[in-house]
């Protein structure tokens, strides 16, 4: 007895057309976008992928994955985003540190409390290997905040009775290394000269932070 093949529904046929179009795009090497803006050959392929990602069955997800598109690489979930971030950083032969810090502070740091401990540890390891320093799970102070704290230290009579801009680490705490860098690298100090008044600049000159020629250029 021969059983008749069940005809495809119109919905199934439509889905197959989208899958065929997706395969064409993948074979062509097109950068696929899982968003409503992505179009291929004038068709809203991105919208199909968005719906497939949200409402598609596990079987459909697996079919699409085998075609060469993994939805995890287009996920907005914090864990998936951090994994992509780690992979990208690891594979980048010359990463721009400033760009990665901005992305970390903007997209990852606000989600730190819901990230898996192991994921955070992986990021820390890769960051250390790429940039040679630890990646703290807090946003570092910007330059103006550091200048403000430096001034607070200078005018703190109890902590700094000698009224000096530079004191031992036991007195300055973590601020010590930031201030020391401004003394050791003149260009860093030059970048913040306009944050100090004439009296403060004179004091800083006497302590070796500022050069006389810089003050002439400010006048």
Integer Cα distance of 204 and 216 in angstroms: 15
Integer Cα distance of 77 and 80 in angstroms: 5
Q: Given a cut of 60, is residue 6 above it in pLDDT?
A: no
Q: Given a cut of 70, is residue 3 above it in pLDDT?
A: no
**Ranges 77-91, 113-127, 133-147: which has the least confidence:** 133-147
**Cβ atoms of residues 206 and 164 within 8 Å:** no
**Ranges 55-64, 72-81, 88-97, 144-153: which has the least confidence:** 72-81
Express each pLDDT in 73-94 by its tens digit.
665 678 888 888 999 999 999 9
Using a pLDDT cut of 90, give the percent of the chain over it.
36
Phi first, then psi, for residue 142 (nearest 5°) are: -80, 175
Q: What is the pLDDT of residue 8?
A: 61
**Ranges 21-30, 36-45, 67-76, 145-154: which has the least confidence:** 67-76
Cβ partners under 8 Å of residue 74, min gap 6 = 32, 33, 34, 49, 53
Domain ranges of the chain: 10-70, 78-131, 143-218
- Residue 40's beta-bridge partner residues? 43
Q: What is the pLDDT of residue 74?
A: 61
């Amino acid at each position: 007895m021969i059983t008749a093949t069940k005809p495809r529904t119109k919905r199934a046929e439509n889905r197959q057309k989208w899958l065929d179009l997706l395969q064409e795009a993948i074979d062509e090497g097109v950068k696929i976008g899982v968003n409503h803006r992505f179009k291929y050959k004038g068709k809203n392929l991105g919208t199909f992928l968005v719906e497939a990602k949200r409402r598609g069955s596990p079987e459909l997800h697996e079919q699409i994955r085998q075609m060469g598109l993994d939805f995890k690489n287009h996920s907005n979930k914090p864990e998936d985003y951090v994994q992509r971030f780690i992979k990208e950083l690891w594979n980048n032969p010359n990463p721009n540190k400033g760009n990665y810090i901005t992305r970390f502070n903007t997209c990852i740091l606000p989600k730190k409390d819901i990230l898996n401990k192991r994921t955070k540890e992986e990021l820390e390891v890769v960051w250390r290997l790429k940039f040679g320093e630890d990646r703290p799970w807090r946003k570092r102070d910007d330059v103006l905040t550091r200048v403000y704290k430096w001034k607070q230290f200078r005018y703190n009579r109890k902590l700094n009775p000698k009224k000096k801009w530079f004191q031992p680490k036991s007195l300055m705490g973590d601020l010590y290394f930031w201030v020391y860098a401004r003394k050791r690298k003149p260009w860093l100090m030059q970048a913040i000269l306009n944050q100090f008044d004439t009296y403060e600049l004179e004091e800083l000159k006497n302590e070796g932070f500022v050069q006389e020629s810089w003050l002439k250029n400010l006048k």
